[in-house]
């Protein structure tokens, strides 16, 4: 396998050296080919997502297929503008060399390591950005979603020559073999723990990395006492049920003002009991990715059995676990200090007048990928969003910030580094290269010996 990876990388490096990927028309052609391939294999992708994750057709298209097509369309519309070199005035100190350009250059050969929870969006969506930037790519998809990984390999092999884009499947051992090689850029989506290992491997070759991580402590939703309770419950419950909670920007825990906690919990219980209907038998409700994920849910619920408001049971045969509310939970308990990645939702209470204490608790922990606040106090919400540190978020909404075109998707600290989607993805897979165009005439001797008082006065004048 090591020799196979090395062979693919060497062929991609040779192809990159030909300069073909520098042509914007070539990149647009490859993006269009990717979009056509997705549309051609749409039914197979839906079937693979159902097999690996128990996804319904609606969730499959909304989360993994349509979102990638939309990403490619946005890239095709913007790439001519994004890739255009920036023109700058060089300044009087550079006279007579007045023109400087900043080129957006591809890194070269990139490695994309994608996760199981959105196996197409988080591989092909990243690939679209890599192609737009003018790179070649090797994708190592998750071994936890074998049907999707196998189909991804088939789609890419049918669409591109392996010397341009290739997929290699396997577990952590294969990922490590990839990381032993010298890539020019690495994009990893997954956990902070594995990201540390990826960064350590990348450091050996000083390879730049981009990380999209779930965060060490998970993402918070804050519900103030003046919030629309039914609206907040509707949105939080929808999101927690989506993909059975296996989403990096999902709500990990809710902090609700104790003044409305009783009403909030009752609304949440009613929603979780009925939505989705008969979750353990409902084909539209996604299952957990594997037995380990299922058993983690079982252990969490056994530990908090006396505080389960609803749910708390599953079906080990089909790996479905009921949407579960655990209440009350203290802010310092273990279950709210790690990412759950499941349909379990712990609920914490606080006095609304002491909201700053909850914000301090959140800020004292590792930075999350998302933050959601529900309140009618717009000024407080805006102030909070400005001062807190997290990747992105919503006011009186959940998750939809990821759907907005023209804005970045990113984390900070333990929730990631770098950004992508649209132009931000193009920027992530290119680097700026400044080139000054010199002149052979009218060159001044200001920068040359001997340095006289007159030259010094002129330098000071021009610099000011």
pLDDT class of 349 with cuts at 50, 70, 90: very high
Q: Exposure of 150 by Cβ count < 10 A (0-12 exposed, 13-18 middle, 19+ buried)?
A: middle
Per-residue pLDDT at 121: 97
Question: What is the C-alpha separation between 360 and 356, in angstroms, rounded?
Answer: 6
pLDDT exceeds cutoff 90 at 357: yes
Per-residue pLDDT at 459: 74
Active site residues: 212, 248
Q: Say which residue the tokens 């939505």 belong to.
A: 275
Per-residue pLDDT reduced to its tens digit, 271-317? 998 888 899 999 899 999 999 999 999 999 999 999 999 999 999 99
Residue 248, domain member (yes or no): yes
Q: H-helix or E-strand containing 200?
A: helix 192-203
Per-residue pLDDT at 276: 86
**Do residues 238 and 376 share a domain?**
yes
Residue 335, domain member (yes or no): yes
Residue 329, domain member (yes or no): yes
Instruction: Say how far residue 179 (Cα) sits from the centre of its chain.
Output: 20
Question: What is the C-alpha separation between 190 and 172, in angstroms, rounded?
Answer: 12
The count of structural domains within the chain is: 2
Detail the DSSP E strand segments found in 361-440: 368-374, 390-395, 409-410, 416-417, 419-420, 430-437
Per-residue pLDDT at 60: 95
- Side-chain-facing half-sphere of 14: CA atoms under 13 Å: 9
**Do residues 272 and 399 share a domain?**
yes
pLDDT exceeds cutoff 90 at 455: no
Residue 423, domain member (yes or no): no
Q: H-helix or E-strand containing 213?
A: strand 209-213
Bridge-partner residues for 209, per DSSP? 186
Residues of the chain with pLDDT > 90: what percent?
A: 90
Bridge-partner residues for 346, per DSSP? 326
**Do residues 7 and 23 share a domain?**
yes
**Do residues 284 and 224 share a domain?**
yes
pLDDT exceeds cutoff 90 at 448: no
Detail the DSSP E strand segments found in 15-98: 86-89
pLDDT class of 92 with cuts at 50, 70, 90: confident
Residue 450, domain member (yes or no): no
Mean model confidence pLDDT for the chain: 95
Edge-to-edge order in the sheet of strand 165-167: 165-167, 136-140, 109-113, 185-190, 209-213, 416-417
Bridge-partner residues for 194, per DSSP? none
Tell me if 2 sits within 8 A of 180, measured CB to CB. yes
Bridge-partner residues for 420, per DSSP? 409
Question: What is the C-alpha separation between 128 and 125, in angstroms, rounded?
Answer: 5
Per-residue pLDDT at 258: 97
Domain hosting 269: range is: 219-407
**Do residues 307 and 328 share a domain?**
yes
More confident residue, 95 or 138: 138
Per-residue pLDDT reduced to its tens digit, 162-185? 999 999 999 999 999 999 999 999
Phi-psi region of 367 (alpha: psi -120 to 50; beta: other; left: phi over 0): beta
Give me the CATH number covering residue 391.
Answer: 3.40.309.10
Per-residue pLDDT at 306: 97
**Do residues 177 and 109 share a domain?**
yes
Per-residue pLDDT reduced to its tens digit, 380-397? 999 999 999 999 999 999
Tell me if 311 sits within 8 A of 323, measured CB to CB. yes
Tell me if 433 sits within 8 A of 101, measured CB to CB. no
Residues of the chain with pLDDT > 70: what percent?
A: 99
Tell me if 163 sits within 8 A of 56, measured CB to CB. no
Residue 443, domain member (yes or no): no
Q: H-helix or E-strand containing 382?
A: helix 378-387
Per-residue pLDDT at 191: 95
**Do residues 270 and 339 share a domain?**
yes
pLDDT class of 440 with cuts at 50, 70, 90: confident
343 DSSP assignment: S
Give me the CATH number covering residue 117.
Answer: 3.40.605.10
Per-residue pLDDT at 460: 79
Residue 456, domain member (yes or no): no
Q: Residue 99 corresponds to which tokens in the numbers above?
A: 């023109």
**Do residues 324 and 265 share a domain?**
yes
**Do residues 107 and 245 share a domain?**
no
**Do residues 281 and 148 share a domain?**
no
**Do residues 267 and 376 share a domain?**
yes
Question: What is the C-alpha separation between 66 and 57, in angstroms, rounded?
Answer: 11
Per-residue pLDDT at 5: 96
* 329 Cβ contact partners less than 8 Å away, ≥ 6 residues apart: 253, 304, 307, 335, 336, 346, 347, 348
Residue 375, domain member (yes or no): yes
**Do residues 135 and 120 share a domain?**
yes
Q: DSSP string of 139-169?
A: EE--TTSHHHHHHHHHHHHHHS-TTTEEE--
Across 46-64, average pLDDT: 95
């Amino acid at each position: 396998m090591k020799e196979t990876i090395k062979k693919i990388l060497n062929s991609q490096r040779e192809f990159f050296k030909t300069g073909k990927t520098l042509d914007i028309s070539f990149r647009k052609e490859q993006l269009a080919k990717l979009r056509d391939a997705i549309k051609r294999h749409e039914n197979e992708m839906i079937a693979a997502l159902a097999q690996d994750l128990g996804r319904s057709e609606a969730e499959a298209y909304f989360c993994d297929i349509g979102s990638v097509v939309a990403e490619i369309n946005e890239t095709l519309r913007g790439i001519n503008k994004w890739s255009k070199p920036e023109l700058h005035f060089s300044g009087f100190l550079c006279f007579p060399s007045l023109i400087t350009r900043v080129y957006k250059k591809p890194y070269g050969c990139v490695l994309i390591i994608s996760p199981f929870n959105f196996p197409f969006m988080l591989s092909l969506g990243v690939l679209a950005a890599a192609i737009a930037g003018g790179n070649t790519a090797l994708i190592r998809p998750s071994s936890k979603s074998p049907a999707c990984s196998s189909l991804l390999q088939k789609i890419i092999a049918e669409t591109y020559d392996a010397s341009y884009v290739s997929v290699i499947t396997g577990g952590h051992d294969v990922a490590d073999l990839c990381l032993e090689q010298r890539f020019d850029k690495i994009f990893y989506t997954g956990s902070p723990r594995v990201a540390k290992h990826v960064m350590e491997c990348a450091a050996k070759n000083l390879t730049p990395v981009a990380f999209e991580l779930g965060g060490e402590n998970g993402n918070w939703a804050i519900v103030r006492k003046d919030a629309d309770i039914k609206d907040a419950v509707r949105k939080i419950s929808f999101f927690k049920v989506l993909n059975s909670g296996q989403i990096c920007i999902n709500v990990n825990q809710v902090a609700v003002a104790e003044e409305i906690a009783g009403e909030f919990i009752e609304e949440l219980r009613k929603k979780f009991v009925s939505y989705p209907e008969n979750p353990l038998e409902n084909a539209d409700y996604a299952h957990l990715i594997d037995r380990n994920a299922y058993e983690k849910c079982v252990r969490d619920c056994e530990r908090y059995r006396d505080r389960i408001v609803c749910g708390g049971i599953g079906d080990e045969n089909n790996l479905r676990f009921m949407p579960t509310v655990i209440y009350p939970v203290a802010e310092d308990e273990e279950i709210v200090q790690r990412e759950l990645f499941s349909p379990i939702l712990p609920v914490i209470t606080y006095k609304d007048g002491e909201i700053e204490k909850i914000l301090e608790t959140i800020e004292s922990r590792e930075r999350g990928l998302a933050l959601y606040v529900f309140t009618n106090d717009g000024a407080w919400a805006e102030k909070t969003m400005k001062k807190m540190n997290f990747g992105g978020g919503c006011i009186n909404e959940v998750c939809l910030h990821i759907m907005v075109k023209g804005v970045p998707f990113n984390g900070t600290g333990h929730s990631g580094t770098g950004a992508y989607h649209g132009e931000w993805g193009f920027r992530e897979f290119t680097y700026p290269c400044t080139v000054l165009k010199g002149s052979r005439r009218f060159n001044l001797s200001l920068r040359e010996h001997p340095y006289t008082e007159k030259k010094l006065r002129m330098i000071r004048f021009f610099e000011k």
